[in-house]
């Protein structure tokens, strides 16, 4: 499932173009919440989170996979944020099922798009989201993806359901995440859209030009620098950008606007990629056994 590098906490991805600006006011807000760090997001107890996980179907689904005796830990971090960790039976690294790091941020939209947004809209930013099965091995049918240490749990939609509930309770404008890998963004494109039309276009142009590679193969090809950006005569590198799941009308209106759609299609037409087949096949043969973990 999704994994995002903690280095993106409290800053926008520096390498992405036309990115949302996150104001620094959220640092003060997080510092104020530090006094109540025993509560998740300064408001929710372990017991409340357990109840939400039950009602949402997350814990029942995990029990069907053989997990029992769930343990939840709210861990304060040095940068005034928090980590919400889920374990099965024992609180240690070998029994870690999931970890979530979120924070509320204020968005400073560009002046040209001010009509689409409320004044200083707030969003729930996911700096890190990990769901894993530490007791299951990778297989030829379930290959390891870049960034994974263990197979996922298949509970992405349940987790999003919980996060959206938090957003609505706190009257936030939506969810914000920064996919660290191409496959993260591709998996979540059913609900999320990139703020940048250029980045959104990559979710169409890369599969188009790298066909017939599947998602795992595409993600590894990008990770191994096997994809050429023909438009810029460079090796393509995936850059994390702001991906939005809108709740407030302003964000939704922007992402479904004609202006946004025209820009996405325009970038799709400009973007051209090519697979270095020889390099990819060499890397795949060399790494395949390690990727399969069998």
pLDDT at residue number 120: 75
pLDDT at residue number 86: 97
Average pLDDT of each block of 10 consecutive residues along the chain (294 residues)?
A: 39 49 51 59 92 95 97 84 93 97 85 70 92 91 90 92 92 94 95 96 99 96 98 97 91 92 98 98 83 48
Give me the DSSP letters along the chain.
-----GGGTTS--TTSSSPPEEPTHHHHHHHHHGGGTTSBTTTB-HHHHHHHHHHTTHHHHHHHTT--SEEEEEEE-TTS-EEEEEEESSSSGGGEEEEEEEEEEEEE--GGGGGGS-SS-EEEEEEEEEE--TT---BTTBPPPTT-SS---S-HHHHHHHHHHHHHHTT-SEEEE--SSHHHHHHTTTT-EESSHHHHHHHHHHHHHHTT--HHHHHHHHHTT-EEETTTTEE-------EEEE-SHHHHHHHTSHHHHHHHHHHHHH--EEE-HHHHHHHHHHHHHHHHT-
pLDDT at residue number 221: 98
């Amino acid at each position: 499932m999704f994994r995002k590098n903690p280095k993106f906490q409290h800053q926008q991805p520096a390498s992405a173009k036309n990115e949302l600006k996150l104001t620094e006011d959220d640092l003060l807000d997080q510092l104020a919440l530090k006094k109540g760090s025993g509560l998740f997001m300064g408001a929710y107890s372990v017991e409340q989170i357990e109840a939400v996980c039950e009602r949402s179907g997350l814990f029942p689904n995990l029990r069907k996979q053989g997990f029992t005796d769930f343990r939840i830990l709210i861990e304060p971090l040095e940068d005034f944020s928090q980590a919400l960790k889920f374990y099965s039976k024992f609180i240690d690294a070998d029994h870690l099922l999931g970890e979530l790091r979120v924070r509320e941020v204020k968005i400073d939209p560009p002046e040209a798009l001010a009509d689409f947004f409320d004044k200083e809209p707030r969003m729930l930013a996911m700096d890190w989201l990990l769901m894993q099965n530490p007791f299951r091995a990778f297989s030829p049918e379930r290959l390891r993806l870049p960034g994974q240490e263990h197979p996922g749990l298949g509970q992405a939609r349940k987790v999003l359901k919980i996060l959206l509930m938090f957003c609505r309770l706190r009257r936030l404008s939506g969810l914000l995440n920064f996919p660290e890998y191409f496959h993260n963004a591709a998996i979540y494109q059913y609900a999320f859209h990139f703020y940048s039309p250029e980045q959104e276009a990559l979710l169409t142009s890369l599969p188009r030009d790298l066909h017939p590679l599947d998602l795992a193969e595409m993600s590894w090809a990008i990770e191994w620098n096997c994809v050429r950006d023909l438009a810029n005569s460079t090796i393509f590198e995936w850059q994390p950008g702001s991906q939005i799941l809108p709740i407030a009308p302003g964000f939704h209106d922007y992402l479904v606007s004609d202006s946004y759609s025209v820009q996405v299609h325009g970038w799709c037409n400009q973007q051209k990629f090519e697979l270095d087949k020889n390099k990819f096949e060499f890397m795949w043969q060399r790494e395949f056994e390690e990727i399969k973990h069998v």
